[in-house]
Structure 1
Amino acid sequence: MTQPSPLSDRRVVLAVAVLCCFLWGSAVPALKIGYGVFGIVPSDTATLLLFAGVRFSLAGALLLGYALATGKPVGLDRRTLGRVSLLGLVSTAGQYLFYYVGLAHSTGVKTSITTSSSTFFSAILAHWLYTNDKLTGRRLVGCLLGFAGVVAVNLSGAGLDLAFSVLGEGFILIAALLFSLGGIYGKRVSGQLDVMVMTGWQLGLGGLMLAVAGLATGGHLGGFGWEGVLLLAYLAALSSAAFALWALLLKHNPVGSVAIFNCLIPVFGVSLSGLVLGESFLEWKNLVALALVSVGIWLATARKDSVVGRPSP
């Protein structure tokens, strides 16, 4: 009888998922600082794509280098290379292409809220693809509470702007959908390939695609001083760690019970931006958001799931 993976233990899932969301949340202030160091204007989509491409290419190289150092084979046959190339196209290149274009045509508040829709996309897709990953009433309420927490952390005195544009919120929705599709497809690919190797190739190839797209559209990077190098190194390291750990969680757990943790990313992003950049974050709305997200996570995960979901016939 196959022993369940330690990564399917609820306490381990909680710790690893929170760590991933913390790392992704820490990218928010790091990116803001990085844009200043490299002189990147948020509306310069081409340079943003190039910057993301360099970041993810480095992250992929870090993972593949570590895999080689620990004796893992990193070579791929033609069929597997095709699979990880598709994964890199969807989960890295495609997702961030739509994300950065959408970000340039939307506000940070609406981007944060719209991005959290990936929780619902993942839960709905898993409901149809896996026999033991159904969208129960309890999980749906948990997702709604998590989404309410994301809305709460982004509330301002002026309220929420509900205007919608295809190039703005529409592209952010597509990015959220690609994140969910990439996670589910990666779960399938990880059944035949070591997760670290898979994630390394995914990030490396996806990053290369982004870099080529950025260069082809006129992107350019300058300011490679020690501060810029350290920032890029940190962003690459957090990406490699977070994406690899997240892929491991998805491999050993139902997608719906992992996706809900995405709602923590905006909470960490706001809090860490406050700490690092001196922005205001000790506000009641942030405490309310954390409470809502925490209750949502508990509702969505506090049940006995099988270790690995099997695709429906």
Structure 2
Amino acid sequence: MNNKKIFTNRKIVILLASFCCILWGSAYPGVKSGYALFKISTDNIFSELSFAGYRFIIAGLMVLIVALFSSKNLFSLTRKNIKELILLGLTQTTLQYMFFYIGLAHTSGVKASIMNSTSAFFSVILAHFLYNDDRINSRKAIGCILGFIGVLLVNFSSDLLNFSFKINGEGFIAVAAFAFSACSIYGKKICKSIDSMLVTGYQLLIGGLVLLILGISNKGHVTNFTIGSTLVLLYLGLLSAVAFSIWTILLKYNKVGSIALFNFLIPISGAILSSIFLKENIFDWENAVALILVCIGVYIVNHHPNKLLKV
């Protein structure tokens, strides 16, 4: 069975996409634990950028090392390829996480989680205009609505009743979500001429280097390296390496609209995993209902009897 048959098999796609989103969800408690272990205050944005830089540099190096041992030629790139990879790294990793961290510092975690989930909407809308065979239909509309209701539910609090909107808060989170969506589609495009592992590895490495330079040049240092803090940092790098690698391959072989809906799983899995690892209350009914709603939405969008998910 070749790669396309494997990564367009409906059951495998659902399993792998869900796995990626669970990994990204685990970054919520992982990053919080990292801040605590490295003694980074939540209002120290440049130290957070440095921390993110280390994380993505490690992730990029992990992917490229695996690619090297898989007999990939790491340097078989044209000048055009290099420009494309630099642009992808600067937008998908550097720009996205800069806007995300700055936005997070100026809004609540509840609103940030909800605004960040709009990446699924952006992906579906962009795909509608860019691909003739990936139009918005009733299934995708219902799936998006159910997914977003699930995200609203898992984040429900009195803070949702406050309709204030800050450009450098909720606005920046929305920009980060749009950057993720647009860059995922751009990554899908350049994967036609560059191996997907190289695309993932180089964009993470380039984006991470720029984040680290931005952080350190503004006195955003990361200190207090211990066995515990280093293991957390390595885990965050590993989850990014694995999740981005699989996600890039899934986007290469499948419709963007079908894969994007899984993004609604990220804040929900993040809330559940945070409850487990940060000793918060896990037995909230809204977590279970939200997860069910998202799963139903994903099922509706991806249920094609006797068909594979095809581009």
TM over 0.5: yes
* CA deviation string 1:182-206 (max 9, x = no partner): 1000000111111111100000000
The residue correspondences of 1:81-230 to structure 2 (distance < 5 A) are 81-156=82-157, 159-230=160-231
* CA deviation string 1:230-274 (max 9, x = no partner): 111100000000001000110010000000000001111111111
For 1:137, the aligned partner's letter is S
Q: 1:10 aligned to 2:10?
A: yes
1:267, 1:51 → 2: CA distance? 24
- Local SS of the residue matching 1:5: helix
Residue-pair matches, total: 307
- Local SS of the residue matching 1:193: coil
1:148, 1:160 → 2: CA distance? 15
* CA deviation string 1:94-149 (max 9, x = no partner): 10000000000010000000001000100000000011100112211110110000
Aligned to 2:310: 307
Cα pair distance change 1:251/1:19, threshold 3 Å: same
* CA deviation string 1:288-308 (max 9, x = no partner): 101111111112221357622
- Local SS of the residue matching 1:71: coil
Cα pair distance change 1:4/1:211, threshold 3 Å: closer
- Local SS of the residue matching 1:96: helix
Q: Is there any run of 5+ residues in structure 1 with no aligned partner, and where?
A: 309-313
- Local SS of the residue matching 2:73: coil
State, as a whole percentage, how many aligned pairs show the same letter. Answer: 45
How far is 1:162 from its partner?
Answer: 2.1
1:159, 1:195 → 2: CA distance? 39
8 Å CA contact retained: 2:53, 2:208: yes
8 Å CA contact retained: 1:89, 1:209: yes
For 1:41, the aligned partner's letter is S
How far is 1:158 from its partner?
Answer: 5.8
Q: Is there any run of 5+ residues in structure 2 with no aligned partner, and where?
A: none
2:66, 2:161 → 1: CA distance? 44
For 1:293, the aligned partner's letter is V
1:99, 1:161 → 2: CA distance? 20
CA-atom RMSD in angstroms: 1.4
Aligned to 1:65: 65
8 Å CA contact retained: 2:111, 2:160: no
Give the TM-score, by structure 2 length.
Answer: 0.96
How far is 1:77 from its partner?
Answer: 2.2
8 Å CA contact retained: 2:110, 2:159: no
Q: 1:29 aligned to 2:29?
A: yes
Cα pair distance change 1:137/1:26, threshold 3 Å: same
8 Å CA contact retained: 2:9, 2:309: no
1:221, 1:159 → 2: CA distance? 34
How far is 1:175 from its partner?
Answer: 0.2
- Local SS of the residue matching 1:192: coil
- Local SS of the residue matching 1:279: coil
8 Å CA contact retained: 1:254, 1:305: no
How far is 1:161 from its partner?
Answer: 2.7
2:218, 2:300 → 1: CA distance? 45
How far is 1:5 from its partner?
Answer: 2.4
8 Å CA contact retained: 1:132, 1:305: no
Cα pair distance change 1:74/1:142, threshold 3 Å: same
